[in-house]
Structure 1
Amino acid sequence: MGGSTNPLSLFLLCFTTFLTLFEVSISTDTLTSSQSLRTNQTLLSPNAIFELGFFSYTNSTWYLGIWYKTIHDRDRTVVWVANRDIPLQTSLGFLKINDQGNLVIINQSQKPIWSSNQTTTTPSNLILQLFDSGNLVLKEPNENDPKKILWQSFDYPTDTLLPGMKLGWNFDTGIEKHITSWSATNEDPSSGDFSFKLDPRGLPEIFLWNKNQRIYRSGPWNGERFSGVPEMQPNTDSIKFTFFVDQHEAYYTFSIVNVSLFSRLSVNSIGELQRLTWIQSTQVWNKFWYAPKDQCDNYKECGAYGVCDTNASPVCQCIKGFRPRNPQAWNLRDGSDGCVRNTELKCGSDGFLRMQNVKLPETTLVFVNRSMGIVECGELCKKNCSCSGYANVEIVNGGSGCVMWVGELLDVRKYPSGGQDLYVRLAASDVDDIGIEGGSHKTSDTIKAVGIIVGVAAFILLALAIFILWKKRKLQCILKWKTDKRGFSERSQDLLMNEGVFSSNREQTGESNMDDLELPLFDFNTITMATNNFSDENKLGQGGFGIVYKGRLMEGQNIAVKRLSKNSGQGIDEFKNEVKLIVKLQHRNLVRLLGCSIQMDEKMLVYEYMENRSLDAILFDKTKRSSLDWQRRFNIICGIARGLLYLHQDSRFRIIHRDLKASNILLDKEMNPKISDFGMARIFGTDQTEANTMRVVGTYGYMSPEYAMDGIFSVKSDVFSFGVLVLEIISGKKNRGFYSANKELNLLGHAWKLWKEENALELIDPSIDNSYSESEVLRCIQVGLLCVQERAEDRPTMASVVLMLSSDTASMSQPKNPGFCLGRNPMETDSSSSKQEESCTVNQVTVTMLDAR
């Protein structure tokens, strides 16, 4: 006899199956010990910021996780996963609090596959609560003391550090908290190869690991930030960073001051540590900071006693007083073997080299005393023959604490600014050869007293010498063209004349009153002292003309010194042009020439120093371009336009720059643009409109068609270059090498195509937020396209450009076809040959350029 089926049981079975097809949000943030959370249910934090539930990317494996509920990004942003390495194999599992007071996930076979495994004594009535911080907490009801929490998800991070989470160690419990990437794909939350862990030994710092290999380190905490993260500037209005260490725990954490801001730190599946911030206006996670971001972020890139500097070439340099251990590998730009001392140490007579703005060496095996000052630290290091260097633990309030290294100094990095001081032990002879940048501190009170007396006496003598020198300079330093009280010295004037810098025939230059011209002539030794003997640390850049150094005059003024190459004909030509032209020009949007220096075959130009260097260094850098919001970009465009108008119309001479490009636009500390580099410039007569040259100079991508093809240049040549600059500033893309998806158009062609399709706003750089005026952007794009028109006579003058940029009501014509590269040769392939050809069509003339790869 067959059995019968109970109708009620059948109904309940069908109803349960029906419910599993739909997600049900429990209207509370709490799960009690008598409840369970199934795969179709979720918990919501009190203000619905976070959600807890099961999720699946494949419908075959299920995970319990926490994600943002209020953020509606395309892919659910999961910030914590409980069973990341042991997924449910079906959707029939559930979460509950078991009789032992543990949080457990039960599978379809009614067996636990994951447990919180806390071992504390557990009462019978526990609750699981999800907070708005994203923390999932197991505790007694109505218990709000954080110290009495039985278990919390914040103690077990996965790949994400949320505000309030701690990354580090609790020495009392032995619990370590670190983050580990997801697996190879973004749809597999299982533990990946990359992890970010704090090493509590010595002076604690955090390392990024690839399995068992260190690939990046943060540097130790210096009281303001990690030594290896100079850009880590705490913003009291948004994010506050904290590092804490004592005998009980050591950890790093951060908090959000602005409650409307969402920010998280995570490590992704390709080994990139990222600080991500949610941009509400664009509905995307913005990568605010990341590491490793360059070659010098690679752990031990330059080996022992090597210094990595991204502004140097090659990036690896030996600390002064050291030489490459493996010269052959070093010359091949492999600095991993590091450096060795030039001279063996003699403990009692050794000195110390002060290195500034560096990331401190690895600090896991160091001596630390937080109560010592830097003087006592130096004395102790000098007495210990094994001590290789020392530094302050913290840099705030003038510096405090002592950290000493015994053995090799590893993973040192140089920064332009923002690092800290490191004192490196050197043999006394090496310190003497280098010149003491800093030194060990005297140990004897008598020696200190003598040192103070000698110092005071030296200061008085130095002040007296400076006063005498100042009085002498006041009478003689300002050199003029006459050989009497307003002229150059005869020797200086002869040197300039012999070099052809100035013509003795005033009619040749069109100058009627050069007697009024003033130009300070700097002493060579003054420039040498200002640039620290032209040290590599002061090097700002290098070109065909020579090298530019940063300097600081004795009176405290920062300068930029262009030291012309002795063997460069281009350098001499540039010197002649710069002195002839810039000294006559005074405009807020032109870089100012402060003077020059001539001694034998040394020729140098001295400029005002620009704190933010060149426009291209920010505009085309993915990590920096976001600092250029629309208002700053618009101000830069208008400033360049005003500077060009002055050159073309308002200066004493009509000057054609001929090499206007992003790298020749310098930015001061307020981001005001200044046109620089007049080595290629030409003076036009008042009635002259164009000229012809057999020597075409300039930069591909900025040259006008008529100049590139026929050597004809005029004010309209600069207008074309300005138009290219405008489109680059708006888009954040370089003209040369920019192609759209079909690889047919460069930046000008791409902008022209968008304009014709009435989609010009698509050109704007995505890093610019939405706080821009659409009409202002469209006006700038239209001005840019008018300036790059193929025919010179169609382009506006700079006077018209300035008017169009400054007025909403100024009439503007529709742009015509620009002069631009039409794209690659249809026959071209992407072969891996040694050279690549690129064919460009301009004015119906084709030029083929070969660029070596």
Structure 2
Amino acid sequence: MDIFAFVLLLLSSSLLLFFFVLSDAADGIAKSESLTEGMTLVSRDGSFALGFFSPGNSGNRYLGIWYNNIPGRTVVWVANRLNPINDSSGMLMVNSSGSLVLLSQNTTVAWSANSTKKAWNPIVQLLDSGNLVLREEKEENPEKYLWQSFDYPSDTWLPGMKLGWDLKIGLERRLSAWKSPDDPSPGELSWGVELHNRPEIVLKKGTKKFLRTGPWNGLGFSGVPGLDDNQVYTYDFVINSDEVYLIFHLIKKSVISRAVLNENTSSYERCIWVEADKKWTTYISSPKDKCDTYNLCGPYGNCIIGKLPICQCVEGFKHKSPDTWNPDEWSKGCVRITQLSCEDKDKIGFAKFVGLKMPDTTYSWVNGSMNLNECRVRCLNNCSCTAYANSDIKNGGSGCAMWFGDLIDIRQAAASGQYPSMQDIYIRMPASEQVNQKEEKDKHKTKLIVIVVVSIAVVFGVLLILYCISKRSNFRDQTRAKVLGWSMRFNIIHGIARGLLYLHEDSRLRIIHRDLKASNVLLDNKMIPKISDFGMARSVGGDQTEGNTRRVVGTYGYMAPEYAINGIFSVKSDVFSFGISLLEIISGKKNRGWSHPDHNLNLVEHAWKLWKEGRPLELIDTCLEDSGIQSKIKRCLHISFLCLQHHDDRPNMSSVVMLLHSEAPLPEPKEVGFFVGKKSPSLSKNQPSSVNEITITVLEAR
């Protein structure tokens, strides 16, 4: 090869490398550059891309941002939603005045992003967050961006994007759904912050409210489930003189999650990308149920899922149309049984309603410094005041909120505790009726206690007789186990988990069962599980999560190590027992008394060995092998190992319930406690214990 050919080859290689670097690494354009059809900007970490696309079956061209590494082009932002380009002449550029413009046919402005600030040396850049920004070349402070797409969202809410108001310039950041998969122009559905004395998030259809979260109360929105405790993201609601907005951040950067409005289903959906399945999975969806429909039950109507009808009147009120009370009449609401008079304040009181979504009304008033007693007096002295409550419920409650006018859009907290941010509200009532209600509640409470005590005694006697006759447990009968497919079994798992969640977090007293096992879970004729045998249960204070005892009672094979060895019991020891029960349901084997014929390991040790060796499906009950849902069974097995970790590493039951119903990534379990099937040498031989078939209860002073 002569020197001329060598130089030519070197120059060609350099030019190819130069063009490759330009096309592969560009995340922005400068004032003298442009973006045209066939070109894309890619954020530095490769997460997002900006370019031209045609949605669905449409031939129109739009400038948009989408996930770069997710197949199927999931678009998160569209520039020219209202003005599509009908050919391939689109060009994005920064014009001579420093404004970002999208041109069609080189001259027609299809879209522009004007800035109120003068730009001297502007550049356009696509950030790793998915935010397209116009900024001065050397200015990287987000507060000084000339313009950003996060201020003008489409149908998608991304991590780090503010949803709400910039009060200084009157800018509202609000989601609006696509009209259809073929048309990204704004549809009827929108989602944003509504400004009034108690800001809240409102989903609208056109100009009408379709769903509201309830106002912010310091811990959360009083009518929204799932925000208070989840493993995917954290969020903040900011209220000050300059801004009112909601923002969320992902807990793990490896998780891809977004919220999107769906015009077809009239819903707000929180989605997570599942890489293994190559698809988006809905994590949370609103409306969740019928009671989320705005003002379904009318004034003073209380929407309660599980009741028939679901629209009930709050205490002290009656149906406005009792003879025709049907879904078409619900919106007429309820009226007072006894009318109030403002003349005699001694005849007026307030009834406390526990766990309500904070109602909507014609007018409300908020004072952040007033305590609840002062709030009561102020409401009592104002005849038009309908109800009052704390405006902030964190740290025991503070501040005053008052309502004037009819109360609407009320819903009752579910017994399962799905709405932990719901709070107490005090509604104006006749004092005499308030006393009558208290007397009725006391009578009902006494009657309930008697019924419960008698029922427990009868059930315990029947169970003892059945034990003596057959010495059976729920999962010992293999013929019965064969009948239980995975869907029945999962319902049992879910029922046990929800039962423990109620005992730990939702009942008036926190209850620790201390002897959870298969034989203490009863199934009714519909195969609905009921936790039984509370002879060893201990109740603790509302803020107390553990205790200790010198006398360890319970069932070896199900006891948490810290309880069996040191007598320390807690909600986490119940979680451990749940993990054992979950393992038994999946495998169809009992932990107590079972050992592998080859290596003499108990059920937990054998399961852990298979897990570490990458063979977890070998543990599954043979009657479930052809169920076709091994991935879901494997997830439950994964959750059982998380429950069997050492005390501090175990999840609480609220997290367990959430994990059972989501497809969010699970953390790797740490080494499990292997005490579960063996008696500790440190325990006294005189201490009471039990095997799986029966529980021996020792009474001790509380």
* TM tier, smaller: 0.5 to 0.7
| DSSP-derived class of the 1:345 partner | coil
Q: Hey, what does 1:89 align to over in structure 2? A: 86
Residues 757-796 of structure 1 deviation map (CA, whole Å, 9 limit, x = unaligned) = 99825244759649769xxxxxxxxxxxxxxxxxxxxxxx
CA contact (8 A) 1:316 1:333 kept: no
Distance in 2, Cα, partners of 1:150 & 1:399: 41
CA-CA distance at 1:187 after TM superposition: 3.2
| DSSP-derived class of the 1:662 partner | coil
CA-CA distance at 1:346 after TM superposition: 2.6
CA contact (8 A) 1:393 1:403 kept: yes
Distance in 2, Cα, partners of 1:434 & 1:245: 39
CA contact (8 A) 1:201 1:364 kept: no
Asked whether 1:193 is paired with 2:188, we answer yes
Quick one: structure 1 residues 435 and 659, their matched pair in 2 at CA, closer, same or farther if it must change by over 3 Å? closer
Quick one: structure 1 residues 366 and 727, their matched pair in 2 at CA, closer, same or farther if it must change by over 3 Å? farther
1:227 to 211, 222, 226: 222
Matches within 5 A, 1:816-827: none
Q: Match of 1:317, as an amino acid?
A: Q
1:316 to 288, 311, 327: 311
2:149 to 145, 150, 153: 153
CA-CA distance at 1:128 after TM superposition: 0.4
1:532 to 438, 445, 452: 445
Residues 618-653 of structure 1 deviation map (CA, whole Å, 9 limit, x = unaligned) = 8599x999x9xxxxxxxxxxx987679xxxxxxxxx
Q: Hey, what does 1:246 align to over in structure 2? A: 240
CA-CA distance at 1:588 after TM superposition: 12
Quick one: structure 1 residues 315 and 758, their matched pair in 2 at CA, closer, same or farther if it must change by over 3 Å? closer
Quick one: structure 1 residues 332 and 114, their matched pair in 2 at CA, closer, same or farther if it must change by over 3 Å? closer
Distance in 1, Cα, partners of 2:188 & 2:204: 8
Quick one: structure 1 residues 182 and 325, their matched pair in 2 at CA, closer, same or farther if it must change by over 3 Å? same
Matches within 5 A, 1:535-546: none
Distance in 2, Cα, partners of 1:406 & 1:162: 37
Q: Hey, what does 2:691 align to over in structure 1? A: none
| DSSP-derived class of the 2:445 partner | coil
Q: Match of 2:437, as an amino acid?
A: I
Residues 18-41 of structure 1 deviation map (CA, whole Å, 9 limit, x = unaligned) = xxxx9x955221111111111211
Residues 653-674 of structure 1 deviation map (CA, whole Å, 9 limit, x = unaligned) = xxxx9955431454999xx9xx
Residues 75-105 of structure 1 deviation map (CA, whole Å, 9 limit, x = unaligned) = 3211111111211111221111111211111
- Greater shift, 398-407 or 328-337, is seen at 328-337
CA contact (8 A) 1:160 1:266 kept: yes
CA contact (8 A) 2:156 2:175 kept: yes
Which consecutive unaligned segments of at least 5 residues does structure 2 have? 1-19, 476-488, 502-515, 538-584, 589-620, 640-676, 678-702
Residues 296-330 of structure 1 deviation map (CA, whole Å, 9 limit, x = unaligned) = 11101111111111032221111111101111332
Q: Match of 1:65, as an amino acid?
A: G
| DSSP-derived class of the 1:86 partner | coil
Q: Hey, what does 1:718 align to over in structure 2? A: none
Asked whether 1:115 is paired with 2:109, we answer no
CA-CA distance at 1:174 after TM superposition: 0.7
CA-CA distance at 1:120 after TM superposition: 2.4
Asked whether 1:663 is paired with 2:528, we answer yes
CA-CA distance at 1:242 after TM superposition: 0.6
| DSSP-derived class of the 1:147 partner | helix
Q: Hey, what does 2:36 align to over in structure 1? A: 38
Query: Which structure: larger Rg?
Result: 1
CA-CA distance at 1:107 after TM superposition: 1.1
Distance in 1, Cα, partners of 2:23 & 2:465: 74
CA-CA distance at 1:267 after TM superposition: 1.1
| DSSP-derived class of the 1:120 partner | coil
Distance in 1, Cα, partners of 2:258 & 2:433: 47
Q: Hey, what does 1:139 align to over in structure 2? A: 135
Quick one: structure 1 residues 225 and 585, their matched pair in 2 at CA, closer, same or farther if it must change by over 3 Å? farther
CA-CA distance at 1:62 after TM superposition: 1.0
Matches within 5 A, 1:242-641: 242-269=236-263, 270-331=265-326, 334-347=329-342, 348-349=345-346, 350-362=348-360, 365-415=363-413, 416=415, 417=417, 418=420, 419-435=422-438, 529=442, 532=445, 561=452, 579-581=461-463, 616=491, 619=494
Quick one: structure 1 residues 303 and 561, their matched pair in 2 at CA, closer, same or farther if it must change by over 3 Å? farther
Quick one: structure 1 residues 252 and 240, their matched pair in 2 at CA, closer, same or farther if it must change by over 3 Å? same
Q: Match of 2:123, as an amino acid?
A: I
Distance in 1, Cα, partners of 2:327 & 2:188: 30
Q: Hey, what does 2:642 align to over in structure 1? A: none
Q: Match of 2:166, as an amino acid?
A: N
CA-CA distance at 1:197 after TM superposition: 2.0
CA contact (8 A) 1:204 1:364 kept: no
CA contact (8 A) 1:220 1:363 kept: no
Residues 145-197 of structure 1 deviation map (CA, whole Å, 9 limit, x = unaligned) = 2222110000001111111111111111010111011113x232221111112
Distance in 2, Cα, partners of 1:414 & 1:658: 28
CA contact (8 A) 1:200 1:364 kept: no
Distance in 1, Cα, partners of 2:292 & 2:492: 19
| DSSP-derived class of the 2:378 partner | helix
Runs of 4+ in 1 over 6 A off after TM superposition: 574-578, 586-591, 725-728, 755-759
Quick one: structure 1 residues 563 and 326, their matched pair in 2 at CA, closer, same or farther if it must change by over 3 Å? farther
Asked whether 1:63 is paired with 2:62, we answer yes
Q: Hey, what does 2:628 align to over in structure 1? A: 762
| DSSP-derived class of the 1:532 partner | helix
| DSSP-derived class of the 2:241 partner | coil
Distance in 2, Cα, partners of 1:61 & 1:380: 60
Distance in 2, Cα, partners of 1:219 & 1:292: 13
Q: Match of 2:182, as an amino acid?
A: E
| DSSP-derived class of the 1:375 partner | helix
Asked whether 1:173 is paired with 2:172, we answer no
Residues 36-82 of structure 1 deviation map (CA, whole Å, 9 limit, x = unaligned) = 11121111111111111111134621111111113x24x32111111
Quick one: structure 1 residues 658 and 228, their matched pair in 2 at CA, closer, same or farther if it must change by over 3 Å? closer
Please tell me the root mean square deviation across aligned C-alpha atoms, in Å: 4.2
Distance in 2, Cα, partners of 1:190 & 1:234: 34
CA contact (8 A) 2:495 2:529 kept: no
CA-CA distance at 1:561 after TM superposition: 3.6
CA-CA distance at 1:727 after TM superposition: 12
Residues 183-238 of structure 1 deviation map (CA, whole Å, 9 limit, x = unaligned) = 13x23222111111211112011111111221110111111211101432245x64
CA contact (8 A) 1:222 1:395 kept: yes
Quick one: structure 1 residues 584 and 338, their matched pair in 2 at CA, closer, same or farther if it must change by over 3 Å? same
| DSSP-derived class of the 1:65 partner | strand
CA contact (8 A) 2:363 2:405 kept: no
Residues 494-530 of structure 1 deviation map (CA, whole Å, 9 limit, x = unaligned) = xxxxxxxxxxxxxxxxxxxxxxxxxxxxxxxxxx859
Quick one: structure 1 residues 131 and 356, their matched pair in 2 at CA, closer, same or farther if it must change by over 3 Å? same
Distance in 2, Cα, partners of 1:407 & 1:425: 11
Q: Hey, what does 2:575 align to over in structure 1? A: none
CA-CA distance at 1:261 after TM superposition: 1.7
Q: Hey, what does 1:103 align to over in structure 2? A: 100
Distance in 2, Cα, partners of 1:370 & 1:182: 39
CA-CA distance at 1:412 after TM superposition: 0.8
Quick one: structure 1 residues 193 and 772, their matched pair in 2 at CA, closer, same or farther if it must change by over 3 Å? same
Q: Match of 1:392, as an amino acid?
A: N
Q: Match of 2:65, as an amino acid?
A: I
Q: Match of 1:433, as an amino acid?
A: N
| DSSP-derived class of the 2:332 partner | coil
Asked whether 1:207 is paired with 2:73, we answer no
CA contact (8 A) 2:492 2:529 kept: no
Distance in 2, Cα, partners of 1:641 & 1:234: 28
Distance in 2, Cα, partners of 1:189 & 1:56: 10
Q: Match of 2:135, as an amino acid?
A: K
Structure 1 vs Structure 2: percent identity of aligned residues? 37
